[in-house]
């Protein structure tokens, strides 16, 4: 199987996952060097550290800025690791490239802003740089905006690109800091299959103990790499301390990841897949029949001057089917979403009949 991540750093060992590790922020030269030494000793090859920190609210630690570039050069000199940092505008791009940073990433608040992404793309193009750039998903689950950001960099001539899934802001309370909504990066992969895909379990989880299960899920879904926050003294970190791991704990998590690479299918998998195909055929047939009945109902309603929507019946139906689904081992919310989609098409079909 092709290792997509090998395009970013051809000389870094290409077994999945390619892992970028390091602190949320560069704080002091000592913190950076200590963390990097421990990570390098544990076998990590690419070091991350935020120099310019986009904070949701003012007043927090906003990063050490360009001063940290010399520290990153020292990390590289003393450990041999590649270095990576976040850029959010043209000054960051020029400073980071002049400062010898090997990989740049665009944060979730920046990738949500087409003007900022275009400014970064233009700065990279002017620089004539072929530095690898990873684009985090925008804070909202807007796949087109994410793809748009990737296209802006591609159009600027950059070819060593990758995407980072870091979860999505949500108003709902969740066990995660940012909702994983795996279907969004999966759809990104379907649309851009050649683009290496990284997962950032630190910013999805927001908690140290969430990193291992999220990283495993990403591996199960075929992600190429990980970007994870690690700090020599996580509890003393100046930003994102709840989610940072010691280099040793991170190494242990990576050691335990189960990587399934088999692509050849066996006969029993083929037969299970063909069973799924047959069931899908039946589902489609049943849906078509259901729509046919919906149209009959539409005709009846037209003849008796009844409105199409009768919301009381619909709510009761949804609740009943959600409960039934749960008894059958499915999520109630899943069944509600399915029925809502079916219902939308049903209403559309009835409206067509009424307009005939």
> Which C-beta is closer to Mn ion: that of 24 or that of 84?
24
CB of 264 to ligand PEP, least distance (A): 36
| Count of residues that interact with ligand PEP, criterion CB under 6 A | 9
Site string for ligand PEP, 40-59 (x = CB under 6 A): ----------x---x-----
Interface with ligand PEP (CB under 6 A), residue from 4, 18, 21, 24: 24
Interface with ligand PEP (CB under 6 A), residue from 45, 152, 166, 177: 166
CB of 238 to ligand PEP, least distance (A): 12
> Which C-beta is closer to ligand PEP: that of 108 or that of 218?
108
Q: Which of residues 201-240 bind Mn ion (CB under 5 A)?
A: 240
107 binds, among ligand PEP, Mn ion, none (CB under 5 to 8 A by kind): ligand PEP
CB of 319 to ligand PEP, least distance (A): 37
> Which C-beta is closer to ligand PEP: that of 231 or that of 325?
231
Interface with ligand PEP (CB under 6 A), residue from 17, 22, 63, 107: 107
Nearest to 164 by CA among 191, 134, 201, 138: 134
**Which two tokens mark 8?**
């970013």
Tell me if 24 contacts Mn ion by CB under 5 A.
yes
Three-state SS letters, the chain: CCCHHHHCCCCCCCCCCEEEEECCECCCHHHHHHHHHHHHHCCCCEEECECCCCCCCCCCCCCCHHHHHHHHHHHHHHHCCEEEEECCCHHHHHHHHHCCCCEEEECHHHHCCHHHHHHHHHHHHHHCCCCCEEEECCCCCCHHHHHHHHHHHHHCCCCCEEEEECCECCCCCCCCCCECCCHHHHHHHHHCCCCCEEECHHHHHCCHHHHHHHHHHHHHCCCCEEEEEECCCHHHCCCCHHHCECHHHHHHHHHHCCCCCCCCCCHHHHHHHHHHHHHHHHHHHHHHHHHHHHHHHHHHHHHCCCCCCCHHHHHHHHHHHHHHHHHCCCCHHHHHHHHHHHHHHHHHHHHHHHHC
Q: Which of residues 186-215 bind ligand PEP (CB under 6 A)?
A: 203
224 binds, among ligand PEP, Mn ion, none (CB under 5 to 8 A by kind): none
Interface with ligand PEP (CB under 6 A), residue from 32, 39, 108, 219: 108
Determine the residue with CB nearest ligand PEP: 107
Tell me if 200 contacts Mn ion by CB under 5 A.
no
212 binds, among ligand PEP, Mn ion, none (CB under 5 to 8 A by kind): none
Using CB under 6 A, list all residues that contact ligand PEP: 24, 50, 54, 86, 107-108, 136, 166, 203
Using CB under 5 A, list all residues that contact Mn ion: 24, 240
């Amino acid at each position: 199987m092709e290792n997509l991540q090998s395009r970013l750093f051809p000389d870094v060992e290409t077994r999945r996952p390619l892992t970028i590790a390091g602190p949320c922020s560069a704080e002091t030269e000592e913190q950076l060097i200590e963390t990097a030494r421990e990570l390098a000793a544990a076998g990590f090859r690419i070091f991350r550290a935020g120099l310019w920190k986009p904070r949701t609210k003012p007043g927090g630690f906003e990063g050490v800025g360009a001063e940290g570039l010399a520290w990153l050069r020292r990390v590289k000199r003393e450990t041999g690791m590649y270095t990576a940092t976040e850029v959010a505008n043209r000054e960051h791009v020029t400073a980071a490239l002049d400062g010898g940073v090997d990989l740049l990433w665009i944060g979730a608040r920046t990738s949500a802003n087409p003007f900022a992404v275009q400014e970064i793309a233009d700065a990279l193009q002017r620089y004539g740089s072929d530095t690898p750039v990873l684009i985090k998903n925008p804070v909202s689950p807007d796949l087109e905006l994410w793809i748009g950001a990737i296209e802006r960099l591609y159009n600027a001539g950059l070819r060593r690109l990758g995407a980072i899934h870091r979860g999505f802001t949500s108003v709902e309370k969740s066990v995660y800091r940012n909702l994983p909504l795996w279907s969004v990066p999966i759809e990104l992969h379907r649309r851009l299959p050649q683009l290496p895909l990284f997962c950032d379990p630190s910013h999805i989880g927001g908690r140290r103990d969430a990193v291992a299960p999220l990283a495993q899920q990403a591996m199960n879904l075929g992600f190429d790499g990980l970007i994870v926050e690690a700090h020599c003294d996580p509890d003393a970190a100046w930003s994102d301390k709840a989610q940072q791991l010691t280099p040793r704990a991170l190494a242990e998590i990576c050691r335990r990841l189960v990587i399934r690479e088999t692509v050849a299918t066996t006969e029993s998998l083929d037969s299970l897949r063909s069973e799924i195909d047959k069931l899908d055929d039946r589902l489609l047939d049943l849906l078509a029949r259901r729509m046919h009945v919906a149209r009959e109902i539409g005709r009846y309603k037209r003849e008796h001057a009844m409105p199409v929507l009768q919301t009381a019946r619909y709510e009761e139906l949804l609740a009943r089917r959600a409960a039934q689904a749960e008894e059958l081992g499915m999520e109630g919310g899943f069944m509600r979403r399915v029925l809502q989609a079916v219902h939308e098409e049903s209403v559309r079909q009835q409206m067509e009949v009424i307009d005939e």
